[in-house]
Amino acid sequence: MHPLTEKRTLTPPLISIFILSAAALAYEVLLVRLFSIIQWHHFAFMVISIALLGYGASGSFITVFRNSLLEKYHSVFITNILLFGLSSIACFITVQHFPFNALEILWDRSQWQRLLLSYLILTLPFFFVANAIALTMMRFHLKIPLVYGIDLIGAGIGAVSIMALLQIFSPDAMLRLISISSIAAGFFALSHFNDRQRQLIASVLLLFMLAVFMTPQKWVDLRISEYKGLAQTLLIKDASLLMRHTSPVSQIDVVQSSHIPFRYAPGLSLQSPAAPPEQLGVFRDGDEITVIDHVTDMSSLAYYDYMSSAAPYHVHSSPQNILIFGSATGAPILLARLHGISRIDAVEPDKQLSLLITDQYADYYGWQALKDKVTIHTISPRGFATSDKNYDLVVVGMPGASTGGAAGVYALSVSYDYTVEAIQSYLKLLAPDGLLSITLWTSNPARANLKLFTTAVTAMKKSGINNPENNVAWIRSWNTATLLLKNTSLTAEEINNVREFSQSRGFDLAWLPGIKPYEVNRFQLLQEPVYYLAAQSILTQAIPRGSESRFVQEYKYGIQAATDNKPYFNNYFRWSSLEEFFSLPGQAGISMIGVGYPILLVTLIQASVAAFILILLPLFFLGTDKQEVEGRRNIFTYFLAIGLAFLFIELAFIQKFTLILSQPLYAVAVAICAFLVFSGLGSLYVQHRMKIESNIIIPVVLRRSVTLIGLITVLYIVLLPLVSGTLIAFPESARILSVFVITAPLAFFMGMPFPLGLATLQQTRPHLMPWAWGINGCASVLSAILAVLLAIDIGFNGVMLLAVALYFIAWLSRIERIKE
Amino acid sequence: MVLAYRGSLYLRGVQLRGRSEKRGSPFIDGMSSKRIIALVFIPLVFISGGQAVANEYLQQRQRMIADIEADVRATARYINKKSFSVHVMQAMDTVPRHKFVRERLRSRAYENRPLPIGYGQTISQPYIVALMTDLLQPQPEHRVLEIGTGSGYQAAVLSELVGHVYSIEIIEELGKSSTRRLSQLGYNNIETRIADGYTGWSEHAPFDGIIVTAAISHIPPPLVQQLKRGGRMVIPVGTRFQTQYLTLVEKDMQGAITTRQILPVVFVPFTGGH
């Protein structure tokens, strides 16, 4: 063989792998965005989790057709690149054209067929990309850690790139861009072909790139579900879209309805002398609505004073300064101004929402008259709460907050704004007689508000308030409830103010120091005065340390306090109530449980069944030799365990970093990037060691990496809560850097077990390599779902410890001793 | 009074069959005179076929009524009754629900579930329609306002029970098609319009009952003002395919307002000795 050709055949197409891996991860992130816009984000989670089983499917496919695929490796590689590029856009277009109605799934069986079809179609792109990478590892078997390392680093770069690019490009434009750039990856895999072939392949690739570029825009235009608020609003006469802004986290649409006003005013009292003024509707991902008021003069805002969120302004004798957490499109700022407060700090993590009122619609909102008195900070509430300033009023949420909590769609999203630690930090911001006010939507049966109450009371007790029953007032309107907390006892005057405010507006008292049972449940009648009963039980019953009040124990929903370790404020699922929910007639049960948690369970079941088939299927094509079968058991254990463990740790750390970085958007991008890049470097290090010290090194490196992963993880579980308080206060660049520093050692070692395992297999049983690849792919999918399910029950620390145990189990499986 | 409602049921039943028979004639006209056999037999087949379809819908409606009754028994604790008013159930038994859904969904019209009607709207689950109607305690002399006409089904059910129904729809296309449908089906005591429901319909106020099947962030004060003393307003809360709970707004004879939240299922939130 010609020396140059020989070198080419020994060098994997690393640039192609890099681009392909980056594109695949970017595509995964993009799909979540696309489905969150056209459907709902919990369904996005389900569809994409299942689609990622394409990695598992590729393992099964290659196991069966290994020899013929490897024989024509170079052509197969290029073909899979091309197919990934084309299917990435084509599959989304196809799925979008089969309108699947997530809301109807419990009523209509045909929706399940459409869902299944969506799964199958969206699995294809991931199947092709996994084929390309796995076959490259097999073809260049001496360089498995190298290929895998580049794969991980590419994916890491893909994660930050998509976040950055989504700031510039719309999601549909990104779909084209990903498709074109992945086809372009083919140009870097042509060295093996002769000149004539090269020209031909290059022309084909170019042609398809052009085809994707020329795809009609109306095919890729997003078709938002007709059941989403935005779609319905645009059906109203003279309603029009004024502005659309897309970002990596949301699509913001501003809508004007000149004929019929929005009149958005959550829980407005029937005693209100005025209706809301003209408003612009602001939709997030086509559904959650907030509004921008057209401020002409302060009298047009009188209606604000007739919502339960106005309570703190009537209870505090003379508030001078205020801190608002979640100023959104400016409603809480207007309420503060209505009460003449001229020192306003507002915290809003979503910069785009703030820009609407300070820039794009500044005149409409009357920002000129406000800007000297208001400072808007783009940071998370927790990030700002490290401030040592003091406020007369600290206000959290509402009016103008979005809905959704009651339907349970956020059950699985992590929120560090409503945990015991969060409320403790908010209480610290209060001036001596200051008030903390938290307003939430109500639901029936009551859930979120009761959880808030237990969380708040736990926080007060932890902050050294021994008799919280004297420091709390709680009122509710038709569909909102406002909780007032104070570090000291409420004075007689303040208590009287609460009574007067509620009475005059037809709001109900739920708790007040010295409240009488006949004072509750008078205007907005509930079957039973649940809020009062909960408050009475939680505040007045003597509860042993570490235990819960009887009410909390017996309530059908999980309303235990949310903590930083289990920050699932919006999840109220309780296993013990499941049977009762299922026994309800018709489809009523699901409206009682909320969709979030059941979707997670359904996804896990579907993924487990699919994974089981994908892992089992190839075994029919392999021999049944006794020794062979025994070895397979070890391989299965090893790759399943490390597949589960890797994502357990990665996901748990992403959540921990969300708190440190104060920006969920950056947190996810930075954490994924850091994890993948450093794991990639770990894998490259393995390649380096194998090159100089031969393959004997495998057991040694494996043992050391597993030990170090365990040690570092345990160390972090102890140390992170101690340092995160300090890190939150650092400037942004320092926080991002600290995340990289924290991640580096752990991820570096986590990048080793997988390539070590594959390299072992390559020496002993190369025909099982694709099977192991498939197992790992399936395990990763299961892991992402399981991590959330487990975190809800055992917390993120528990998930990490479990991961350590899994790494240990992997090591015990002694994969390196499997004989040929 | 019961008989009067029965009467209208039978009357509509006759009309329904009458139309089926009529539809047969163009079919016959198109036949060649030589085909005598066809002339004799095919109309017979067609007529009996039409009757079979009508009978099929009648049977389905009966099953729907049984489903609703079962749901009522199951939710007795929360709605404080073991059954809905006889009149309400008769109205549910009268209105041809299949005429309010799209052609392709007709076979499913009488299932106890909501169905899509286009424009992101649904025709509510029969049980919820019956529950909302029952909560209004309709009387023949009543005037009822509906916000959100949708398919017109709820208005049709109400029109069987009260003197006048006024219904407002915000989406133009939906408002036009439901108005056309209601007039074709002969509901003469329903007046519809395409407008903003928030401000009610002051020309016809006050109302004995109001139903608000639209997404709202608060109870619209103008609607409460247009509610008669002693009147009732019902507001379902939830998504298009899932009613989570209902709010019943009551204005007493002194004009004082209370709201009451009603869960459409049996659910005891806690088991403690409260």
Write out pLDDT tens, residues A309-330: 999 999 999 999 999 999 989 9
Residue B257: list chain A partners with CB under 8 A: 270, 506, 523
Residue B127: list chain A partners with CB under 8 A: 586
Domain assignment present for residue B143? The answer is: yes
> For B100, which DSSP code?
G
A586 Cβ contact partners less than 8 Å away, ≥ 6 residues apart: B71, B112, B113, B125, B127
Query: For residue A638, what pLDDT is reported?
Result: 94
User: Do A527 and B259 count as a contact with CB atoms less than 8 A apart?
Assistant: no
Higher pLDDT, A594 or A420: A420
Residue-range domains of chain A with CATH: 1-223 (1.20.1250), 318-572 (3.40.50.150), 622-820 (1.20.1250)
CA B67 to chain A, closest CA, distance in angstroms equals: 10
Optimal mutation site among A236, A479, A531, interface B, most CBs of chain B within 10 A: A479
Of the candidates B70, B241, B243, the beta carbon closest to that of A107 is on B241
Higher pLDDT, A670 or B228: B228
Number of domains in chain B: 1
Reply yes or no on whether the pLDDT at A267 is more than 70: yes
CA A589 to chain B, closest CA, distance in angstroms equals: 8
Reply yes or no on whether the pLDDT at A583 is more than 80: no
Residue B169: list chain A partners with CB under 8 A: none
Mean pLDDT of chain A: 89
Of the candidates A266, A272, A506, the beta carbon closest to that of B217 is on A266
Query: For residue B51, what pLDDT is reported?
Result: 66
Residue B94 tokens, joined = 């009268």
Domain assignment present for residue B44? The answer is: no
User: Any idea what the CATH number is for the domain that residue B222 is in?
Assistant: 3.40.50.150
Reply yes or no on whether the pLDDT at A480 is more than 80: yes
Structural domain containing residue B243: 113-262
Domain assignment present for residue B80? The answer is: no
Reply yes or no on whether the pLDDT at A228 is more than 70: yes
Query: For residue B30, what pLDDT is reported?
Result: 37
User: Do A584 and B265 count as a contact with CB atoms less than 8 A apart?
Assistant: yes
Domain assignment present for residue B215? The answer is: yes
Query: For residue A83, what pLDDT is reported?
Result: 98
Query: For residue A189, what pLDDT is reported?
Result: 94
Query: For residue A772, what pLDDT is reported?
Result: 93
Residue B237: list chain A partners with CB under 8 A: 444, 479
Higher pLDDT, A695 or A600: A600
Query: For residue A395, what pLDDT is reported?
Result: 95
Out of A265-269, A357-361, A662-666, give the one with best mean pLDDT: A357-361
Of the candidates B170, B271, B272, the beta carbon closest to that of A236 is on B170
Pairs across A and B, CB distance < 8 A: 145
- Tell me which chain A residue has its CA closest to the CA of residue B256: A523
Reply yes or no on whether the pLDDT at A814 is more than 80: no
Reply yes or no on whether the pLDDT at A36 is more than 90: no
Look at A290-299, A354-363, A493-502 and tell me which has the smallest mean pLDDT.
A290-299
- What is the percent of chain A with per-residue pLDDT over 90, rounded to a whole number? 62
Of the candidates B78, B217, B238, the beta carbon closest to that of A591 is on B238
Residue A188 tokens, joined = 């870097």
Residue B265: list chain A partners with CB under 8 A: 584-585, 588-589, 591-592
Which one of the listed residues B8, B32, B107, B124 is annotated catalytic?
A: B124
User: Any idea which residue has 């503060």 for tokens?
Assistant: A336
Domain assignment present for residue B208? The answer is: yes
- Tell me which chain B residue has its CA closest to the CA of residue A557: B269
- Tell me which chain B residue has its CA closest to the CA of residue A291: B217
Query: For residue A731, what pLDDT is reported?
Result: 82
A159 Cβ contact partners less than 8 Å away, ≥ 6 residues apart: A25, A26, A29, A668, A669, A672, A673, A676
Q: What is the pLDDT of residues A762-798, one digit of tens each?
A: 888 888 999 999 999 999 999 989 998 999 889 999 9
Query: For residue B49, what pLDDT is reported?
Result: 55
User: Do B263 and A407 count as a contact with CB atoms less than 8 A apart?
Assistant: no
Q: What is the pLDDT of residues A530-552, one digit of tens each?
A: 999 999 999 987 777 667 888 89
pTM over 0.90: no
Query: For residue B164, what pLDDT is reported?
Result: 97
Query: For residue A570, what pLDDT is reported?
Result: 87
- Tell me which chain B residue has its CA closest to the CA of residue A231: B120
Reply yes or no on whether the pLDDT at B36 is more than 70: no
For residue A554, list its beta bridge partners.
none
User: Do A444 and B238 count as a contact with CB atoms less than 8 A apart?
Assistant: no
Query: For residue B143, what pLDDT is reported?
Result: 97
Reply yes or no on whether the pLDDT at B23 is more than 60: no
CA distance A100 to A88: 19
Higher pLDDT, B215 or A221: A221
CA A575 to chain B, closest CA, distance in angstroms equals: 14
Optimal mutation site among B111, B119, B217, interface A, most CBs of chain A within 10 A: B217
Query: For residue A573, what pLDDT is reported?
Result: 87
Q: What is the pLDDT of residues B263-272, one digit of tens each?
A: 776 555 554 4
Reply yes or no on whether the pLDDT at A174 is more than 90: yes
Residue B264: list chain A partners with CB under 8 A: 588
User: Do B274 and A591 count as a contact with CB atoms less than 8 A apart?
Assistant: no
Reply yes or no on whether the pLDDT at A500 is more than 50: yes
| Catalytic residue flag (residue B124) | yes
Residue B119: list chain A partners with CB under 8 A: 226, 232, 235
Look at A45-49, A146-150, A152-156, B125-129 and tell me which has the smallest mean pLDDT.
A45-49
Average pLDDT over residues B42-68: 74
Query: For residue A407, what pLDDT is reported?
Result: 44
CA A434 to chain B, closest CA, distance in angstroms equals: 29
Average pLDDT over residues A131-136: 96
Of the candidates A226, A506, A527, the beta carbon closest to that of B120 is on A226
Query: For residue A801, what pLDDT is reported?
Result: 96
Mean pLDDT of chain B: 80
Higher pLDDT, A152 or A44: A152
Cα A362 to its chain centre, rounded Å, is 31
Average pLDDT over residues B20-43: 40
Higher pLDDT, B244 or A609: A609
A463 Cβ contact partners less than 8 Å away, ≥ 6 residues apart: A424, A427, A428, A487
Look up the ipTM and state it.
Answer: 0.87
Residue A550: list chain B partners with CB under 8 A: 272
Reply yes or no on whether the pLDDT at A214 is more than 90: yes
Region for A464 from its dihedrals, namely left if φ exceeds 0, alpha if ψ lies in -120 to 50, beta otherwise:
left
Reply yes or no on whether the pLDDT at A361 is more than 70: yes
A120 Cβ contact partners less than 8 Å away, ≥ 6 residues apart: none
Optimal mutation site among B111, B112, B216, B267, interface A, most CBs of chain A within 10 A: B267
Query: For residue A404, what pLDDT is reported?
Result: 39
Reply yes or no on whether the pLDDT at A734 is more than 70: yes
Counting every residue written for chain B, the total comes to 274
A746 Cβ contact partners less than 8 Å away, ≥ 6 residues apart: A649, A653, A678, A709, A712, A713, A716
Reply yes or no on whether the pLDDT at B15 is more than 60: no
pLDDT confidence band for B108 (50 / 70 / 90): very high
Query: For residue A529, what pLDDT is reported?
Result: 93
User: Do A237 and B172 count as a contact with CB atoms less than 8 A apart?
Assistant: yes
Output the CA–CA distances (angstroms, integers) from residue A517 to A370, A470, A533, in the order listed.
Answer: 43, 16, 9
Query: ∠ CA(B147), CA(B153), CA(B159), 5° rounding?
Result: 80
Query: For residue B239, what pLDDT is reported?
Result: 78
Residue B241: list chain A partners with CB under 8 A: 103-104, 106-107, 227
Reply yes or no on whether the pLDDT at A4 is more than 60: no
- CB burial string A301-311: b at 16+ within 10 A, e below: bebbbbbbbbb
CA distance A605 to A599: 10
Domain assignment present for residue B18? The answer is: no
Average pLDDT over residues A140-151: 94
- What is the percent of chain A with per-residue pLDDT over 70, rounded to a whole number? 94
- What is the percent of chain B with per-residue pLDDT over 70, rounded to a whole number? 76
CA A783 to chain B, closest CA, distance in angstroms equals: 32
Higher pLDDT, A87 or B43: A87
pLDDT confidence band for A667 (50 / 70 / 90): confident
Reply yes or no on whether the pLDDT at A33 is more than 70: yes
Query: For residue A483, what pLDDT is reported?
Result: 97
Reply yes or no on whether the pLDDT at A741 is more than 80: yes
Residue A444: list chain B partners with CB under 8 A: 237, 244-245, 261, 263
Average pLDDT over residues A327-339: 93
Average pLDDT over residues A12-22: 97
- Contact A330/A293 with Cβ under 8 angstroms? yes
- Tell me which chain A residue has its CA closest to the CA of residue B240: A227
User: Do B247 and A107 count as a contact with CB atoms less than 8 A apart?
Assistant: no
Query: For residue A601, what pLDDT is reported?
Result: 86
Query: For residue B79, what pLDDT is reported?
Result: 67
User: Do A103 and B172 count as a contact with CB atoms less than 8 A apart?
Assistant: no
Of the candidates A106, A107, A555, the beta carbon closest to that of B269 is on A555
Domain assignment present for residue B55? The answer is: no
Reply yes or no on whether the pLDDT at B44 is more than 60: no
* Burial status of residue B59 (CB atoms within 10 A of its CB: 0-12, 13-18, 19 or more): exposed
CA distance A660 to A676: 19
Counting every residue written for chain A, the total comes to 820
Domain assignment present for residue B63? The answer is: no
Query: For residue A3, what pLDDT is reported?
Result: 47
Average pLDDT over residues B241-263: 89
- Contact A348/A326 with Cβ under 8 angstroms? yes
Look at A55-59, A397-401, A782-786, B201-205 and tell me which has the smallest mean pLDDT.
A397-401
